[in-house]
Structure 1
Amino acid sequence: MLLAVRPDHRTLALTAVAGGFLLGFLDFLWIKFVPYPLAELGNSTATWAVAAFAFGCWVRSGWLRAALGAAVLLVVAVPSYYLAATLVQGDELAVVWAPSSLLWMVFGVLAGVVFGIGGTWARGTGWRQIVGTALPAAVFFEEATRYARNANDPNYPPGLLWNVVIDVALGLLVVALIGSGSRQRMLALAVALPLALLIFIAFAVAGGW
């Protein structure tokens, strides 16, 4: 349940760091031990983006606080993920500071800022509330599009269409849970589609999946 009071700076910082550690560590365990296709939720950029969004929702107000806290959460989650890989299956810890890990941290800052602010908008009013509510759905729909695009690619595991179904269902569910009325939910879903396209283009430009 989201807190009804605005967290102070110390609570905000501790939650961002602890939440990031748990996100990265539990994400690795999810991928390793949960069967496919649900395991792909751990290997999902959408899941991490929605975690940043949830942080912004919890902060409720103050876009700068939400953006900074959500960015910290995602940045901390990256080394936490690789620490879990080291402890659980003996991977090299040096991967924590490898260039690929640093790149994921940069992406974490960007996603944390966007989705952290989106979380505060979803708790507001007017057009910002519509856009904020649309953001988590958009990131799930965008990921579903990438799964669908690669469904017949032999370089990817079979059954990706199940992940398309899962992501679309989660996108619809998050709007149903966050939206405050039928009209707002329908508007958010309408806005989510062009937002999903923008995210898809951003991944293409960044050399994503």
Structure 2
Amino acid sequence: MDHAQFRAHPPRAPDISSRHLSHPLVRAVVMATVAGLLLGPVDLLAQTTLPYPWANLANSGAVWALAAFVLGATLRPAAASAAAGIVLLPIAVESYYLAGVIFRHDSTSTLWSSTTGLWLVLAVIVGSLFGLAGSVVRSPRRAARFAAAASAGSIFLLEALAILARSRADGGSNHAGQTVVIEIALALAVPLITLALTRHRR
């Protein structure tokens, strides 16, 4: 054996860090963490700068669910999509309240209040469901793709009905009707756009 050649070119150690980062679950968690850190502050900024009724849309839980759906659709396998949704939305909730503390001087108690805890529980449930639905939209079965796309639109329809019911209970709002119209339009448009995009990719 040529010992001089061995000394000049020692065996390379495996790049463990790169291998770990290429794992689907690790990649999903990293992407979801970055997206969640951005989603919270951007949502708060949109609420405080956009005119009504668009500011209502920025404060929409359906938009956050759609974010988990879109992220889930970009990942595979399905476990990575669900994991991404589970990580994305809770981090977005905390980054939203943290942005309020930093930029609006809100109380730090908002980071661990009972209301925040409720939102975190809902974030885990909604994030896992819509992250998984995002992965199903790539299914080779047409019925599965249609069902997944419909779920992305249905959350807007449900939210529109909730806004309408709340508005009637409160005696009506100047912007509630406009917000309902926008959300119903999104309930129809989101599934169509989703199916068109997935068909193009396929």
**TM-score, normalising length: structure 1:** 0.78
Matched, 1:174 2:190: yes
Range 106-115 or range 92-101, more displaced: 92-101
Match of 1:72 in 2: 87
Partners of 1:7 and 1:143 lie apart in 2 by: 36
AA of the residue aligned to 1:118: A
* Matches of 1:142 and 1:119, distance apart in 2: 18
> Among 51, 54, 59, which residue is 2:70 paired with?
54
The yes-or-no answer on 1:93 pairing with 2:108 is yes
The CA distance in 2 between the partners of 1:55 and 1:171, in whole Å, is 19
The structure having more radius of gyration, on CA atoms, is 2
The reply on whether 1:39 has 2:73 as its aligned counterpart is no
Paired residues of 2:62 and 2:155 also in contact (CA < 8 A): yes
- How far 1:156 moved relative to its partner? 6.2
Moved over 4 A (4+): none
Unaligned 5+ runs, structure 1:
1-5, 185-209
Contact 1:151 1:158 in 2 (8 A): no
Return 5+ residue gaps in structure 2 as ranges.
1-21
1:138 partnered with 2:138: no
| Separation in structure 2 between the aligned mates of residue 156 and residue 93 of structure 1, nearest angstrom | 33
Q: How well do the aligned residues superpose, as a CA RMSD in angstroms?
A: 2.0
CA deviation map 1:7-49 (0-9, x unaligned): 8444322111010111111111111111110001121110111
Aligned residues of 2:86 and 2:127 also touching (Cα < 8 A): yes
Q: How many residues get paired? A: 176
Letter in 2 for 1:100: T
Deviations 1:43-72 (A, max 9, x none): 11101111110111111x322111111110
User: 1:86 aligns to what SS in structure 2?
Assistant: helix
CA deviations over 1:61-120 (Å, ceiling 9, x no partner): 322111111110001011100011111110012211112111111101100111011001
Does the 8 Å CA contact 2:28/2:83 hold for their aligned counterparts?
no
Aligned residue for 1:152, secondary structure, equals: helix
Partner SS state of residue 74, structure 2: helix
Determine the structure 2 residue equivalent to 1:117.
132
| Distance change in 2, residues 1:96/1:168 (3 Å) | same
What are the residue-to-residue correspondences of 1:154-173 with 2, within 5 Å? 154=170, 157-173=173-189
**TM-score where L is the length of structure 2:** 0.81
Counterparts of 1:58 and 1:7 in 2: how far apart (Å)? 15
Seen in structure 2, the aligned counterparts of structure 1 residues 7 and 164 have a Cα distance that, compared at 3 Å, is farther
